[in-house]
Each structure stands twice: as structure tokens, then as C-alpha cells.
Structure 1
Amino acid sequence: MMPANTLHVDDFLARVRHPSQTPTSDEIQTLLNELQSIAISDVDDNTRELLKGVHHRLQAMHLFLSSDESSALRELKEARRVFESSNSTVDLARVSLLEGNCHLALGQFSEALSHYERAADLFHELGESNGKARATGNKGNVYNYIGNYPLALHNYREAIAIHEVDGDLDGLARTVGGMGLVYANLTEYPDALQHLTRSLEIHRSLGAKREEARLLSSLGNVYRQIADYPKAVEHFQKAQAIIEDVGEKSGLARVLSNLAGIYSDMHDYARSLEYNKRALAINEKTKDASTHARIVGEVASALHSLDKHESALEFIEKAMNESMKLGLTSLHCGQSLVRATILYKLGRVDEAQSAAELCLNESTRLGDLTDTIQACITIGLCHDARGERVEARALYERALADSHSCGVRYIESTILATLSKLLEQSEPRTALEYYRQSVAIDKQILGEQQQRQLAMLDMEQKLSEEHKLHEQHRELLLQLMPDATVVRILNGEKIIADTYENASVMFLDIVGFTSLASQAPASHLVHLLNAVFERCDAVCDQFDLSKIKTIGDSYLAISGMPALQEDHAHRIASAALALVRELRRLHVTIPSELGNADWVKDVGDLEVRIGLHCGPVVAGVIGKKRAQYDVWGDTVNVASRMESTSHAGKIQVSDAFAHVLAGNGAPVLDGADVIIRNAPFLLRLRGTIDIKGKGEMKTWWLELIAP
């Protein structure tokens, strides 16, 4: 037999390496605490080294979730050193994945791609399709950030196909959400709405509150982009409520910053500045340095829009220092462009051009087309200010080509208008052509905006109808199976079969029902069964049992699953005793519209037989047509035999069940009977009976201790 500590370590490593979904900061801290409790001296040298590496990786995960990516990378460097010396491919794959996440958050896109590609290769080598899908989806995130939308969609689709087969709902939700962001960047807003809404619903079903808030903010930004500000604000406020509920101050700061963006779009720059300063005040109470750097930059942009250029310059330089210190390469590049624009407005043209040229070099290295376009425009403006029209034209035309290639047409239109103005004296015909192209694009954009708004309305209506059907379907399923199982079915899980090691099973049968069926009309029997089973349902709810199904006049219920219940035997025993008592005094009145009910006079008290057994069971849903929730296993079969060999008004239990229910109670003689007392229960030995398929079994009668 393996030592208990070794078994604990193996279980711990399995949970760290294969979490069911992305862990939260609290869950990571719990794992770190558990790691500290492991007796390191009791494990071999290789395992000891592995645990050191795991400690570094968990610390890195904690730091990453705290937005301290640079410190996280230092921990990951140590983890990689340990895992490489231990040749632990499974751990190296996860280190590579997290390294990619850190570099992506820092805006270091080429490094992020390199780590994701390595992670995907390692997961492929391990045969872990789920890990490969996550690495592939994260590559999609990188391509989305740098504006390579076709490659982003390609990687997302590849990842989604794997997640759907594996049933990884957390990974599926994140990847579908990523696709939604791409469609938003492509201004394909109905598709963005559809994908972001699907992602939101999956995260909600998983209870992932922070992700739900993030998706609500993303949907708010979609509505912001189509200038539907009331809906944008509504979504941001919903996100704000969730974030306040979970106490994530850094998230609240981001929501306020999003609201500031709406006011900026509406040219209410004073209000935008106010919200950004509120966001900044909240953020300064947290350790989220990267968000702080972003918001300081937003404050600078608001001041710039208010023509407070000197103050704007002070804030943007502060933001740049913070982003550089944190290694936020992409953010620093974008902020440098804002600084260049401010310098240009201040008349410091040479400084503005130098700053923009540095940005151009950096954005080209990063492959960030959006910043490359803006840098070219700013440098072009500087040349134009000096009367260097040839140089300005070359920069504008480069920006025009890049904006056309990545489909950013509103910028393309602006550049065409700028070129038209630049050339109106020297090349009037060319200038006129540029002007016509600019107007044509503006008209096209306006027409498409109207079409998109109509398409958005259609999509909202469709999603609303789908949501209603989804809720109706969900409510129906909730009447038939546990909540957690319903969530899994609605999220596309094909086969659900879960093992529960300790559960108690109850079978109940109405005594003499076959005789009743020969006397009473079918409609009366249905009414009777409905009354009986409604009472059974009420008792099961009282003791938190799970109703599984009814078969004819039999009723099957179980305790100890799907939620684990240490007192499962106590619960089901209490329910069984209550059912015998309740059903014996149940009075059923047949409605007069169902016809003559004289047969009722010949029926005495309603008696039932009940059988109880406990042990391991398998529960789930199998099949496509008329699929239902059910339980299987020897435990279920024995419980059924306990019922069929019981007597009217009696509860027969197996020896195994009696042992669990008795606890510390010991058998004693009570006259000629052997009994076990464990208040309020009394177990009276029935003896040994022959059970079909099992042979002889010792069984007990379950009773209440007399008051």
C-alpha cells in the first residue's frame, strides 16, 4: 500500500495540473496553503523538486492575477529551471502557457506567441487536447491585439472545435468571447453581440462572476461603438454591480474608465475627466499597477481634449514611466503616440516627430498596425507643418495602405481627406479624387452603420427569443434532474456519468396497487398517484433528497448526491419514516367530474413498502431521445430488493445501511429481538433472507424509538 502522504501528493499534483476551470486568487491561495502542509521529508527527491517548481508556478499565477506580470515571470523562470531538470513535460507545458499570458498582458506580443506555440507543441506531445486548445485560443488573443484578425479567427475556430469535443466550458467561453472581440474590432457588431452573449451565458452558468462582469463590459463597449450609449451604460452598470459584489476594486476602476470613454465619445470631456479621476482614486487603493498606468494615460487624453496640453503632457509622461517600469510595451507605445500628439499641439514639432518615429519603429517591431498607422499620421502632420509636403504625402499614403489592409475604414477616410487637403493646390485632380473616395467611404460607413443597427436589433430580438426558449427548456429540465446536471446539458455536454462513493438509495412501492388498478378507472388512478407522489416530493424536499424517477407506482429517491452529504443515511432514514406516517394518513378526494368513486370506500389506509441501502452509485444522463436522469449500480439493485422483500407499512434496510445509520450504537437484546438504538432511530434485526441475485443477506427493520 502507498503511504498516505504519497497519495496526498499525487492527488495534489493532479488537481494543480488539471483544474476543472481557471482558478481564482482565493483558490490558488488554498492550494499554496495545502502545499505548505505536505510533509516534504516523506517524499522522494524528485517529488520534492517537483513540489518546489509547483510552488513557483502557483506563486506566479497569484502574481499574474494581481496584475504583477513582471514578478510572475521571475517565479516562472525558477519553475522552468526546476521542471527542465526534472524532465516534467506536463509542468513545462503549463509554465509556457502562463509565460505567454504574462507577456501578452505586458504587450510583448512576439514573446507571447513564442511561448504559446511552445505550449501547444508540448500539449500535443502529451496528448492533452484541452491544453493545446487553450494555447491555440491564446494565440488568437495575440493576433487580435496586433490587428491580424484573419489569423485571430483561424486560431479561435481551431480552439473552439477542440473545446466543444472536450466539454471544456471555461475554455469554450473564453475563446467564444475572444471571437466576439475580433468581430467588434472588425465592426461586425451583430456577430460580436452573438458571440459575446454566448460567452456571457456560459460564464454565468459556471458561476464565474468576474468573467461575467468582464463580458458585460465588452458588450457595453460594443454598444458604445455603435453609439447606443444608454445600452452601453446599462451593461457597464451591471458589470459595476457584480464587481462591487465580489469586491474587486481594480475591476470597478476599469468600469468607471469605460464610462469615461462614453463621455469622451459624446465630446463631454469634462465629464470624461471626472470619471477617469474617480477611477484613478479607486485604483490607487489597489495593487493593480497596470490598470493604474492605463487610467493615468486616459486622464492625459481627457486633458488633451480639453486643450489643457501642459497638464496632459505631465500626466502622459507619468503614465509612460509607469508602463515602461512595468514592461507594458504595447501600452507604452500607444501612450508615446499620445505624447507626440500633445507635443505637436504645443508647437514642439521636432520633439513630436522624434517621439512619433520612435513609436513607429516600436509598433513595426511589435506588428501593431493600429499604432503604426497613427505614428505615420503624426509624423506626416509634423512634415506638413514644416511645408515638407513630399515627405508628408509618403507618410500619409503608407498609413492609407495599412488602414486599407486591416479594414479600418474610418481612419482610411480621415487620411484620404487629409491627403485631399494636402494636394489641393499642387495636384487638384488627385486631391478631388481623394476627396471623392473619402466621401464615398463615409457614405458607405453611414449606410453600413444603419444596416448594422438594424442587424443588431434583429440579433437582439433573436437572442431574446432564444433566451426565452432556453429558460423554458431549463425550467422543464430542472423539474427532472439536479441543477448542476441541467447546466451541463444546456452547455452541450453529451454524456454525463458521475460516480458517488457514498450515497443512500430509497425505493418506495404502494402496497396493493395492482388490486386497486382492477377496481378504479385509469383517470382515478392517475389522480391518486399524483397525490401520493406530490407528498413524496414534499418530504424529499424537506430532507434535501434528490428525486430520481417514478416507475408505475414506485418512487426512487437518493441522498448524498449530487451535493455530497455526510449525513446521507440519517436524511433518507428520516424521510422514509416520515413517508410511512404521512402516506398512511393521506386522504385523497377524487373530483366529481372524474365520475363515481365508490371504490374508495373499500380502500383502507394507504400502505407502502420501503427499502434502503447505501454505497457507491453512478448517476447521469445517457442517450439523445427521451433522455432522463437516472442512477445505476449494485447499490440501486440492492435497495430495490430491500423494497420488494419488505412488508406493508415497513422499512427494510440492508446490514450495510444499518451499520452506517447506527454510528456508535451497538446491538443489544430487547426481549427476543436484537436491536440497535441511535436516537431517534431504532433498528430491529429481521434476520437473514434470500435476495435474488445476491444470496442470503442480513436485514433490519427501521423504526422510530417510541416516545
Structure 2
Amino acid sequence: ALELFEIVGDVISRGYVLSNMATILHKKGDIDASQRALNEALDIAINHKSLTLQATVYGSLGVLYGSIGEYGKALEFMQRGLDVEEQLGDLTSMTASYGNIGVIYYYLGDLVSALDYHQRALDLSIKLDMAWMTAVSTGNIGGAYVGLGDHATGAEYFRRAIPLHEAVGNRGSIARVTGNLGIALRENGELEEAVTHFRTAYQLDRDLGNTDEMFFAAANLIYTLILCGDVDEARTIIDQLDGQSPTDPHSVALYRSALGHMQRVDGDLDAAHQLLTEALDIAKEIGSTEITMSMHKDLRELAKERNDFEGYIAHNTIFLQLTEEIKGRAATSRVANMQAERAMAAEREERARERAVLYSTLPKHIADRVVRGDDVSGDHYDHAAVLFLDIVGFTTHSSEHPPSVITDLLGTIFARFDEICATHGVTKVKTIGDAYLCFKGDGTAEENARGVAETAVAMQNTTFSWPGGHQGGLQVGAAEGLRVGSPVQFRVGVHIGPATAGIIGTERLQYDIWGDTVNMASRMESTGEAGKIHVSEAFASFLAHARNDIPVPHSVRSDIPSVPHVEGERVIPSDSEEPFPIPYSLFPRGEIEVKGKGVITTYWLEGPLT
């Protein structure tokens, strides 16, 4: 592949091949060859300004240096990779980088930073639904808490991580986290349960052929068995591993430490000192603060048995110093602050979600008041202009098509009506099946009448079609994917008068409007005709005054004057030379019987004739 890409001049692809080769070489243990391949790939990425390749190679170099204990270089390259990923907005790669950086900080003994980065990885992996990374990050957070001395919280996170790993079928990670749970339990004094988990982890790693992980689990199992007094089983584990050796420096250090403890049990204190000192040297060489601290503690206890007073003082001093650095007040305070910040951030995020739901279900000005804590249980309006709209023949048409098609059509229609309401300052209240309810009550009676009239005319002027028909093609205004059929018709009713609007309920908030004015608007709609706007005499009167800029006398507001009842006579001529902001006309319909109201006079509101 390298030769082919070189022949065709595809340099960037050649860089990716080198990066993939480096990963394979790393797994085979050829660190030098892996490093050379990555350096060549990095040169290509930088020279050809490929940010994506740069991010990939930086991350791989970080992992490589971390595997050989060069944590400073590992952190440097991982951070460079993260910077590029953030620049690219590559959230998936950022999640992995957060986790890897957290691991390096853990090895460096900066457990607070480790906890911070693992928590970032967890948050992002949950957001992106990355199951495997969620499991890994959960376990790593447990490790950070154990390192900080909070063994109970660490064990809790390990217990969460195990079923997450089981769900994705990662047996190697199950073994690792099970062993880590054993460490948390041992440090918490639960030795027998710890041994059970170490045995499980050790056997899993043996079955999987994970040599380094197997030695890591074996070292912990041997040490814990010695603490429990079960020296014979500890010897059996050592015998099983005879002739094998780990390569990972952490496993090497821990296993030599375990062998040192066995020599100590056997009474060979000098051999024990030699093995523990070798483990300490490895830990210091790779920069593992955690293992270094543990080895100084073990060497301190061994010095006491060897009557090495100076050695005891030296190891005790360093042990206490490291303990304070890792688990002292400053670290505890930083963890507490970080947890508090995350709790507040989670609370802010929850409030933002609640607010988003609030604004999606309530009119904006009402939602604003709810957020401020105002009482919105009922606002009274003296002159609320209320509009009811119903889709003609909805039941018949909806029975002829799949529910999803009808739902899409309704969504398109009502979304357009929402836009119209917003344009004219009208408040949408709700939809009820195929019905639409809105009102305007924040202005004068004339302003409210005018706004709702403009809204009603605009709604009737929209063009939508039922799916089906024989014309073919699509029509502007129709829901996407629907064939042109018969036009969708609306029946609109409008009335004006006193009404109350507010929020009903406490659990599932719903904004509504009620009162006789609403009932009357509904009657106007139900007694109307397809494609027409049916308005009450009260609404027509206020609209006429709004048209002629004649204020309605205060004495008239409760006793609305009549509009001429001559059939066909226009109250507002469409050909008037006077300027008028909307092109509508009023025509008397005559007297009709309205349920609960008796015989009343009503009007048709229409646009200009063409």
C-alpha cells in the first residue's frame, strides 16, 4: 500500500498507512519501528497541513510513549492531538483523548486531573452514545477515586463499570475492572471479597492470554493472599507463572513487589529488600507516583523489621510527603470543588432543558413570566379577539391515508399558522386534533380585532392539498412528499369579548383560554362554511371602527353598535381609496340560530375580489 500510494502521489493516504503500520508494530512490541513510522507520518501531516492526520498521529505517539513509561512525552503529544481534535470539532476522537490523558495523569499521580479528564470522557461518551467508552471511563473514574483514598466511591464506580463492559462483550476490560474492584475492597479492609475478585480477574486474563494483565492481577492476588495468611495459594500462583514474565513496567514493578512480600514471609529480609527496591526503581523510572508511594510504604515496614532506623526514617518521610501530595487537603479541596462545579453545571443543564421544554409548550411571553416566578394562573382581557379554525372534511380524508402522512400534513399546516400568528402578534393557544385556537388580547379592542382579522385572512389564503388525486406533481405549501389532490379547506370563526387566559395544571403545564367569548368563537366556526371566515357582530363592529380610525365610545364597549344589516352591503368597501393595511371586506350573512345564543346577526370576512 505504501508503494502504491507513493506511485500515485497520494501522500496523505501514505501517512495513514504509516500510522496503521505503527499501531501493528507497537502491538508486536517493536517500539522503535513504531516510533519511526509515526514520526514519518507526522512529517507528512505537518508538511501537507492535514489536521486530521496530525490528530491521529499525535494521539498514537502519546499512547506509544505512555506504554513505555515516558509520561511527560505522552502527555505532550496527547494534548497536541486533543487541541487539533477540538479545532476540527471531532467529538468522538476528543472522547478518546480525554480518557487517554486521564490515564497519564493517573500514572503521574495527579489524580485530581485524572478524575477531571475521565469525567469529561464519560460525559461526552454518554452524549455520543459510545457504550464502550462509557464503560471504560466509568472504571477509570473508580481508579482515580481509589488513588485519592475514597475506596468506597471507587468500588461503586467499578461495580457500575463491570455490567457496562459485559454489555459490549469486552472480556479483557471485565478482567481489569474486576481486579481494580479487588484493590478498592482490599484497601477498604474487605480482604476475602477482594481475593474473590482477584481470582476472577487472574483466571480471565490467563484464559485470554493477556500476559501483562495476568501478572498485574497475580501480583495483587499474591499480596492479598499473604495478608489473609493463605501463603500456600500464593506460592501456587507464583509456581504457575514460573518461566513467564511481563513486559509492561507497571506489571513488572508490582509482581516484583509481590515476590518481595513472599520473601519477607519466608524470612529472607535481604531478598525482600532487593525485590522491593527494584520495584521502587522501576516506579520512579516510569514516573508512577502511586507505585512509588506504595513501595516506600512497604520498604518503611521492612526497614523496621531489619532494624534499619535510617531507612525507616527516609522511606517514611517520602511516603508521607507523597501521601500529602496525592491525598492531602489541597487534593481533597480540588476534588470537592470539581464535584461542586460539575453538580452546578448539571443543575444549569437541567434548568436549560426544563426551560427549553417550557418555551416549546407555552407562548414566549408566558414562559418568560413563569421563569421569573410570576403568577400566570389567569389573566383577564376585556376585549380578547378569539379565532377558532377547523379543517373541513378532516375525518373523511384522514381515514383514507396512513396516520404518518396525515400527521406530516398537519405539522406543515400548523407550523405555517404559527408563523402567521407570530407575524401579527397573535398568541397561539393550542391545537386540538385538526382544530387551531389563537387569540389577541394585549391591545385595544380595535387593535386586537385588526390583528386577528389579518391572521384569519392569511390563514385562509394559504394553499395546501390533500394527498392523492390525479394531477401529479407537488404543490407549493403542501407537505413534502404528498401528491396533489383536492385543496385543504378551512372553516374559521372569530368573536371578541371578555376572556381569561392562563396556565392550567402544575405537573404538565398547559396554556389555555376560557370564557363565553371562546365558546362564541367556537360557535362561529361550527356554523360557518368551508373556505370562509365567520365573525360575530361584535367583532365586525370593532373591526369597522378599526378600519375607519373611529374610536368606539366607552359607553358602547358593553353595548356594541350594530353594523348595517342590508344583505350584500359592504361595511368596508374593498375599492376604497383610503389607505388600509390589510385587504379584507365584511359582508353581512344575516341572522342565524346559534346554540345557547338564539338568533344573532353575523358577517363574512373576506379578502378583496379578484
Scaled by the length of structure 1, the TM-score of the pair is 0.49
Show structure 1 runs of 5+ residues with no match.
Answer: 1-49, 51-79, 361-369, 375-398, 482-503, 537-551, 558-569, 609-707
Partner of 1:270: 192
CA distances 1:226-283 after superposition (whole Å, capped 9, x unpaired): 2222221221122122222233333322221111111232344432221122234555
Show structure 2 runs of 5+ residues with no match.
Answer: 361-407, 437-457, 465-477, 502-514, 533-610
CA distances 1:492-521 after superposition (whole Å, capped 9, x unpaired): xxxxxxxxxxxx999547999999999xx9
Q: Size of the alignment, in residue pairs?
A: 435
Q: Does 1:93 align with 2:45?
A: no
Structure 1 432/302 Cα, relative in aligned 2: closer, same or farther at 3 Å?
closer
* Cα displacement (A) at 1:222: 0.9
CA distances 1:53-104 after superposition (whole Å, capped 9, x unpaired): xxxxxxxxxxxxxxxxxxxxxxxxxxx6877788764454334334444555
CA contact (8 A) 1:316 1:338 kept: no
CA distance in 2, matches of 1:257, 1:432: 30
Structure 1 443/293 Cα, relative in aligned 2: closer, same or farther at 3 Å?
closer
CA distance in 2, matches of 1:149, 1:83: 34
CA distances 1:343-365 after superposition (whole Å, capped 9, x unpaired): 464356898799889xx6xxxxx
Partner of 1:463: 342
* Cα displacement (A) at 1:123: 2.8
Of 273, 293, 307, which aligns to 1:410?
293
Partner of 1:593: 500
Of 92, 108, 121, which aligns to 1:170?
92
CA distances 1:28-57 after superposition (whole Å, capped 9, x unpaired): xxxxxxxxxxxxxxxxxxxxxx5xxxxxxx
Partner of 1:120: 42
CA contact (8 A) 2:38 2:57 kept: yes
Equivalent position amino acid for 1:372 in 2: D
After TM superposition, the structure 1 = structure 2 runs for residues 11-410 of structure 1, keeping only pairs within 5 Å, are: 50=1, 89-102=11-24, 112-282=34-204, 291-292=213-214, 294-309=216-231, 311-316=233-238, 318-319=240-241, 321=243, 331=251, 335-336=255-256, 338-339=258-259, 342-343=262-263, 345-346=265-266, 372-373=281-282, 410=293
* Cα displacement (A) at 1:556: 13
Equivalent position amino acid for 2:293 in 1: Y
Rg larger in 1 or in 2?
2
Name the stretch that deviates more: 454-463 or 296-305: 296-305
CA contact (8 A) 2:142 2:157 kept: yes
CA distances 1:454-498 after superposition (whole Å, capped 9, x unpaired): 3322211211221232344456668999xxxxxxxxxxxxxxxxx
CA distance in 2, matches of 1:281, 1:173: 31
* Cα displacement (A) at 1:405: 11
Equivalent position amino acid for 1:164 in 2: E
CA distance in 2, matches of 1:218, 1:181: 8
CA distance in 2, matches of 1:284, 1:114: 32
* Cα displacement (A) at 1:204: 1.5
Q: Does 1:527 align with 2:438?
A: no
Name the stretch that deviates more: 404-413 or 245-254: 404-413
CA distance in 2, matches of 1:243, 1:322: 28
Structure 1 424/175 Cα, relative in aligned 2: closer, same or farther at 3 Å?
same
CA distance in 2, matches of 1:415, 1:513: 73
CA distance in 2, matches of 1:276, 1:330: 17
CA distances 1:277-321 after superposition (whole Å, capped 9, x unpaired): 223455566576664454345433433444555543442454475
CA distance in 1, matches of 2:434, 2:239: 71
Equivalent position amino acid for 1:117 in 2: N
Structure 1 480/593 Cα, relative in aligned 2: closer, same or farther at 3 Å?
closer
Equivalent position amino acid for 1:592 in 2: A
* Cα displacement (A) at 1:372: 2.8
CA distance in 2, matches of 1:223, 1:163: 28
Does the residue aligned with 1:227 lie in a helix, a strand or coil? coil
* Cα displacement (A) at 1:218: 0.2
CA distance in 2, matches of 1:478, 1:210: 31
* Cα displacement (A) at 1:211: 0.9
CA distances 1:143-195 after superposition (whole Å, capped 9, x unpaired): 44455444333223221211011111121111122222233334433332222
CA distance in 2, matches of 1:124, 1:413: 44
* Cα displacement (A) at 1:201: 1.3
Q: Does 1:450 align with 2:320?
A: no
CA distance in 1, matches of 2:286, 2:417: 82
Scaled by the length of structure 2, the TM-score of the pair is 0.55
* Cα displacement (A) at 1:130: 1.8
Equivalent position amino acid for 1:441 in 2: Q
Structure 1 321/95 Cα, relative in aligned 2: closer, same or farther at 3 Å?
farther
After TM superposition, the structure 1 = structure 2 runs for residues 554-569 of structure 1, keeping only pairs within 5 Å, are: none
CA distance in 2, matches of 1:197, 1:478: 27
Q: Does 1:441 align with 2:321?
A: yes
Name the stretch that deviates more: 469-478 or 237-246: 469-478
CA contact (8 A) 1:253 1:279 kept: yes
RMSD: 5.5
* Cα displacement (A) at 1:212: 0.7
Structure 1 292/206 Cα, relative in aligned 2: closer, same or farther at 3 Å?
same
CA distance in 2, matches of 1:215, 1:513: 44
CA distance in 2, matches of 1:118, 1:212: 33
Partner of 2:509: none
CA contact (8 A) 2:491 2:530 kept: yes
CA distance in 1, matches of 2:329, 2:491: 69
Structure 1 134/443 Cα, relative in aligned 2: closer, same or farther at 3 Å?
closer
* Cα displacement (A) at 1:584: 6.2
Residue identity (%): 15
CA distance in 2, matches of 1:555, 1:144: 65
Does the residue aligned with 1:592 lie in a helix, a strand or coil? strand
CA contact (8 A) 2:12 2:50 kept: no
CA distance in 1, matches of 2:294, 2:337: 28
CA distance in 2, matches of 1:96, 1:591: 77
